[in-house]
Each structure stands twice: as structure tokens, then as C-alpha cells.
């Protein structure tokens, strides 16, 4: 696993209670759920569309459903999970609006992380070269990228203001391998953001 993920995983782990039920959407190879199971003794379930990742997650002992989260979470009842995670997957979704709505319906708390397209180096690259930037966080050229809904931190904050949800906490990461938290000018200086949300008015951080 790349060092770039470590700080992100640490923050997500810190937000989750011991023995909680955790649904990870787009769980990849199940590494995050495996870490949470080890550190927090959670009850995990992943959803992943890529068959290779599903196999690798199962090899780690993580239960996974192979499914496309853009079609929603109809198999799950309201408030059936303590936490629903969408980790670095928002920008590849076809229906991010619908997926967030489903996450808030199914989960008591929701954790979303994504790379920040407003980061200053990306802006600078676009300004000087006049081309779509390629970076560690956005490593694909424009013609083969899976990223279809890029957004900035400011975009996401405005987006959730129009939703029936409450922002409980937010963390903005920067530095090499996104290894420290910043508090000033996050839309300009952060490479990644982690948000903790709830759609339940009686749930607090």
C-alpha cells in the first residue's frame, strides 16, 4: 500500500467507534476495512465493482458484494449501518448526488474523502500550460481518465449545504504523501479532504 494512503486511513480510523458496523463503498482490495477490523474490531462489509479487487478483499477475510454503487443501496434498510464510507471514489461516480443521498439514508454517519481539484499546483499547471493537469492525485491523461466528476473542496461544501445533512467534522490534508493536516485556505492548499456527515439530527460527533 502506498504511503500516500496512511494519513487518510488514520483519520478515517479515528472517526469510527469500536465494534461499529461499517459499509465501505468502492472498497478496492479491502485494505481500509482490514485495518479497521484490526484496530477497531468493526463489523465490515465492502461493495466493489472490480472483480480482481473483490477477490483480493475476500483473501483478506473481508466480506464483499460485487456491485455498482451508482445503482444505489436498495438492498440495505434505513439506518442499517453505523458508518458508510466513500473513500477516494466520489470523483469516479456517475451519480454522486444519488450515491450521497443513499449513503445518508443507510448510514447513521457518512465519511467521504476525495482529492481536491482546487489545489494550487493543479491551478498553476492549468494556467501555464493550458492543459488538463496530471499529478499524483490525478494521474491519468484526459483521454483515459476514470475521473468524471472532479470537484474542489469549495464545490463539495456548497454541494452539501443543499442537502438534508449536517457537517460534523472536516480534515484537510497536504504535504508530500498528504501527511499533515492544514487549517488555512484548504481549497487552495489541501490535496485531499475528509468529511464526516450525518443526515440524522440527533447524532453528534
Residues of the chain with pLDDT under 70: 1-6, 133, 136-137, 139-142, 144-145, 147, 176-179, 200-205
Class of the domain covering 3-116+147-198: alpha beta
> Domain limits of the chain?
3-116+147-198
Phi, psi at 194, each rounded to 5° = -125, 125
Q: How confident is the model over 29-88, as pLDDT tens digits?
A: 999 999 999 999 999 999 999 999 999 999 999 999 999 999 999 999 999 999 999 999
User: What angle in degrees, to the nearest 10, is found between the helix axes of 6-15 and 31-40?
Assistant: 50
Q: Is 121 helix (H, G, I), strand (E, B) or coil?
A: helix
What is the helix (H) or strand (E) element at residue 192, kind and residue range?
A: strand 192-198
Amino acid at each position: 500500500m502506498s504511503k500516500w494512503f496512511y494519513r487518510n486511513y488514520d483519520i478515517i480510523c479515528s472517526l469510527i467507534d469500536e465494534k461499529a458496523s461499517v459499509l465501505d463503498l468502492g472498497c478496492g482490495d479491502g485494505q481500509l476495512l482490514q485495518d479497521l477490523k484490526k484496530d477497531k474490531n468493526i463489523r465490515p462489509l465492502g461493495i466493489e465493482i472490480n472483480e480482481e479487487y473483490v477477490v483480493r478483499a475476500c483473501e483478506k477475510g473481508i466480506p464483499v458484494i460485487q456491485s455498482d454503487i451508482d445503482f444505489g443501496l436498495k438492498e440495505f434498510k434505513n439506518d442499517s449501518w453505523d458508518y458508510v464510507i466513500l473513500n477516494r471514489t466520489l470523483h469516479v461516480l456517475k451519480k454522486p448526488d444519488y450515491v450521497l443521498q443513499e449513503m445518508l439514508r443507510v448510514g447513521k454517519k457518512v465519511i467521504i474523502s476525495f482529492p481536491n481539484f482546487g489545489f494550487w499546483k493543479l491551478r498553476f499547471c492549468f494556467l501555464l500550460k493550458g492543459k488538463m493537469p496530471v499529478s499524483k492525485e490525478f494521474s491519468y491523461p484526459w483521454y483515459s481518465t476514470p475521473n468524471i466528476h472532479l470537484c474542489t473542496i469549495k464545490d463539495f461544501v456548497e454541494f452539501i449545504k443543499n442537502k438534508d445533512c449536517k457537517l460534523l467534522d472536516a480534515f484537510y490534508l497536504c504535504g508530500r504523501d498528504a501527511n499533515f493536516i492544514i487549517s488555512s485556505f484548504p481549497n487552495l492548499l489541501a490535496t485531499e479532504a475528509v468529511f464526516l456527515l450525518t443526515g440524522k439530527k440527533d447524532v453528534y460527533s
